[in-house]
Amino acid sequence: MEQIQRIKFLIEKNPTIVLVGKKTEILKNFIEHLILKKLGQKREIMILETSEEKIENFKFYLQKTKFGILILKEAPENFDKFLSFLKELPPKINLVFNFEEKKLRKLKDLVNLHSLSFGMEEKADVFLSSLKFNFGMNIKISFGGAIVPFWLEKIFGREYILNLLATVSCGILLGINLVEISQIFKDFEGKPGKKRLIEGISGSFILDDSKSFEIEEKREALEILKEIPWTKRKICVLDDEFSQEIFDLALKVCDLVFVFGEKDSVEMKEKILFFDKIEKGIEKLREMLKENDLILILGSQKINFEILIDEIRKIW
């Protein structure tokens, strides 16, 4: 099968985009959305995902393609080995890298590839120049002196922003106008469980971050919740395996905190509602939710909060 695929590729030599790293799913979704909207069902661009360790398996495609883009979101663990790999690639390959990763900044001067960097800092080629939260993210992206507004509806967070910036860089290399790229992403949908806004019952809203488990992700979700301006009450739902930092931040940001787990795990305070069974918490939430309440669901590997979300989301 691999041999047949390679022969087919040698005949067609379709443009190839290779995503390197551990978390490339959302980036792939962004790029697929861009290509589908721009090229329709033609899909003449091949998108490949790989880890740093398996990158050698994709050298064939990068060397034989008529045009290629390699996207690096994080610095490789074995930098020197990866650098050697990049040096073997032909000039028709373009390198897109995350400027936030200081190690990657060196690549521009070390390899014979055209490159574009992306990031939050102005020193990046494609960078975020403005960010506001509403029922999504109002973003301004800068490239080559141009500043273009983007609207990402019902999604929030750094992960989406960095993946969008990487995709914009990719789009620029594919010859797509920055304004056109901004229009393409107006209807982009985020990944379920990753800082996605959902309409709830009684005019409430849910910020579903139930698939984010790292402390940094939870901290960011609470910081975003704090900045969203239109809410009546801010409510946080989490399990009893929280870190003290996250719990303290939830108490600071939120009007109410729903905790699910063991009864002796939480010191009861005025803002805290504790539930040892998810059914009881669902019943209480359904009873008390009001218009423009915003409920943040933090990730849990102990409790399946999808059950709770299904019970408080708006059913069309």
Q: What is the DSSP string of 130-174?
A: EEEESSEEEEEEEETTEEEEEEEETB-SHHHHHHHHHHHHHHHHT
Backbone conformation region of residue 175, classed left if phi is above 0, alpha if psi is from -120 to 50, else beta? left
* Tokens linked to 100: 């936030």
Is 234 found in the same domain as 181? no
- The token pair that represents 300 in the structure block: 């849990």
Residue 312 in contact with residue 282, Cβ under 8 Å? yes
pLDDT digits (tens, 9 = 90+) for 16-34: 999 999 899 999 999 999 9
Other C-beta atoms closer than 10 Å to the C-beta of 261 total 18
Query: How does residue 3 score in pLDDT terms, banded at 50, 70 and 90?
Result: confident
- The count of residues in the chain is 316
Q: Which residue in 158, 140, 156, 101 sits closest to 124, CA to CA?
A: 101
Sheet holding 196-199, edge to edge: 196-199, 205-209, 294-298, 234-239, 256-260, 272-275
One domain, residues 36 and 152: yes
Pair (137, 27) in one structural domain = yes
Tell which of 187, 222, 244 closes a domain: 187
**179 and 259 inside one domain:** no
Residues 176 and 206 in one domain: no
Compute the C-alpha angle 204/207/209, nearest 5°. Answer: 155
State the average pLDDT for the chain.
93
Residue 108 shares a structural domain with residue 11: yes
Q: Tell me the CA distances in angstroms from 113 to 51, 90, 95, 185, 257, one per residue in order.
A: 20, 8, 6, 28, 51
* pLDDT, tens digit, 9 for 90 and up, residues 265-288: 566 678 999 999 999 999 999 999
pLDDT digit string, tens, across residues 217-258: 999 999 999 999 999 999 999 998 889 999 999 999 999 999
**Per-residue pLDDT, 217:** 97
Asked whether residue 131 falls in the same domain as residue 263, the answer is no
In the sheet that holds 46-50, the strands lie side by side as: 46-50, 16-20, 68-72, 93-98, 114-119, 126-133, 136-143, 146-153
Structural domain boundaries enclosing 230: 196-312
Confidence at residue 231, expressed as pLDDT on a 0 to 100 scale: 96
175 and 204 part of one domain: no
Final residue in a domain of this structure, among 136, 164, 187: 187
Residues 267 and 165 in one domain: no
| Total number of domains constituting the chain | 2
CA angle (220 as vertex; 215, 224 as ends), nearest 5 = 150
Integer angstrom CA distances of residue 221 from 45, 127, 197: 34, 22, 12
pLDDT, residue 12, reads: 72
- List Cβ neighbours of 265 (8 Å cut-off, separation of 6 or more): 240, 259
Please report, for the domain that includes residue 92, its CATH number: 3.40.1190.10
Rounded to two decimals, the pTM is: 0.93
Same domain, 54 and 31: yes
Alpha helices by DSSP H, listed for the chain, are 2-12, 25-39, 59-64, 79-87, 107-110, 158-173, 178-184, 215-227, 244-253, 278-288, 306-312
213 and 147 in a single domain? The answer is: no
Residue that terminates a domain, selected from 119, 152, 187: 187
Average pLDDT over residues 186-197: 97
What pairs with residue 237 in β-bridges?
A: 258, 297
Inter-residue contact 83 to 101 (CB < 8 Å): no
The answer to whether residues 173 and 270 belong to one domain is no
* pLDDT score for 315: 81
**Which pair of structure tokens corresponds to residue 242?**
């929280």
CA distances to 117, 165, 168, 292, 314 from 181, rounded to whole Å, are 17, 11, 7, 32, 31
